[in-house]
Structure 1
């Protein structure tokens, strides 16, 4: 990335980036896979679970299940979402708080429906940090299609190439890269691409105040990070 380049918007995925829900989500879908005698392994998780809408997961993972069973799974998934009380990813609250003081737009892109997004962000007092949000209800094509990230760029009134994205899933990273954005990959080092500027496990080692994040972001936004 050219050092004179300026990032104008920073965009976050939700599950696995803002909220620590990955294991809980995998356990939910694994329980249904066992009931329906469907193969469930890491390849399935990558291909059908993370970054996908509930309907996409049901149609793809349970393609041979009866329609009534699919409806039952959808109801169960909705109840599961309502009951979830996940913690925030380590360090993300401080990171968002610091970002909110800077001259940079903040967006969220998730495959989850609006109601789930509102509930979980309100639960963790993070909704107010985001200038714009794109949910699964706002898109025709989900991740890894670039539509979700192209839509957030449009809502933020920022060119895709002026956006930096925090993502964790393969499909989400591919979506952001396909949209022409830069990416910091959270807990996922499987994808190599010139527009992935960093890999990190969580935000506790990627704080806005230390030299690491300053070297990554400071050259690209129009404000001094002190």
Structure 2
């Protein structure tokens, strides 16, 4: 998997940290403030969208009175405590980051989450020293499955996309990495277990945990 790889780019939620479960809970709580319930399939509809795109989608679909910026502020506030105390790294992540760092492999994060949350997560888990680039979907034109964010991270890392390996847990993210011309490894996550076979078909590799990459 690592042959010819000069840079590794991680999706955040569900790939680098075990956090996908948080957002379903937040959607229930947030929409409940307006007397609404999340419709079936909501999570699938917003997969891969940037933080700003998702907020805009919520405002339009649910006719929310708050601005997009207010919606994002509320989500950040609601997610903060959960991310700071309830979200662990995926199994084997720290060992894999150390392995890559020791071999001068460049590391980046390409997330649909907010910059406030990803920066805080990096600090809590002491990951800043590993990553040369952290980019969010709000920094580029389009969210996943468009390749924009992965191409932007590769450019900042000064690495040919063909020499990049992406770790992703959701189908739009896998599609984004492939559309960018990169190798993609799908990561197992409880949130998307029902999509395992499709993830295996779309990606170049599939892992249950990061120790599999090293051994």
Fold agreement, TM-score > 0.5: yes
Aligned residue number for residue 81 of structure 1: 79
**What is the CA RMSD across the aligned residues, in angstroms?**
2.4
Q: Does 1:58 align with 2:59?
A: no
**1:15-66: CA deviations, max 9, x gaps?**
111111111122111333455535433x321221x43223222322442323
**Distance apart, 1:82 and its partner CA:** 2.8
How many pairs are equivalent?
202
Native 8 Å contact 2:51 2:137 kept in 1: no
Aligned residue number for residue 8 of structure 1: 6
The secondary structure found in structure 2 opposite 1:112 is coil
**1:94-127: CA deviations, max 9, x gaps?**
1111111113211111122322221111101112
Aligned residue number for residue 67 of structure 1: 65
Native 8 Å contact 1:46 1:170 kept in 2: no
Aligned residue number for residue 214 of structure 1: none
Aligned residue number for residue 213 of structure 1: none
| Cα distance, 1:61–1:152 mapped onto 2, change above 3 Å | same
Q: Report the structure number with the largest CA radius of gyration.
A: 1
The secondary structure found in structure 1 opposite 2:88 is coil
Gaps of 5+ in 1: 211-226
Aligned residue number for residue 20 of structure 1: 18
Question: Structure 2: how far apart are the matches of 1:47 and 1:66?
Answer: 18
Native 8 Å contact 1:141 1:147 kept in 2: yes
Pairs within 5 Å for 1:25-44: 25-34=23-32, 35-41=34-40, 43-44=41-42
Native 8 Å contact 1:18 1:89 kept in 2: yes
Native 8 Å contact 1:10 1:104 kept in 2: yes
The secondary structure found in structure 1 opposite 2:142 is coil
| Cα distance, 1:159–1:36 mapped onto 2, change above 3 Å | farther
| Cα distance, 1:139–1:69 mapped onto 2, change above 3 Å | closer
The secondary structure found in structure 2 opposite 1:127 is coil
| Cα distance, 1:113–1:97 mapped onto 2, change above 3 Å | same
Aligned residue number for residue 111 of structure 2: 110
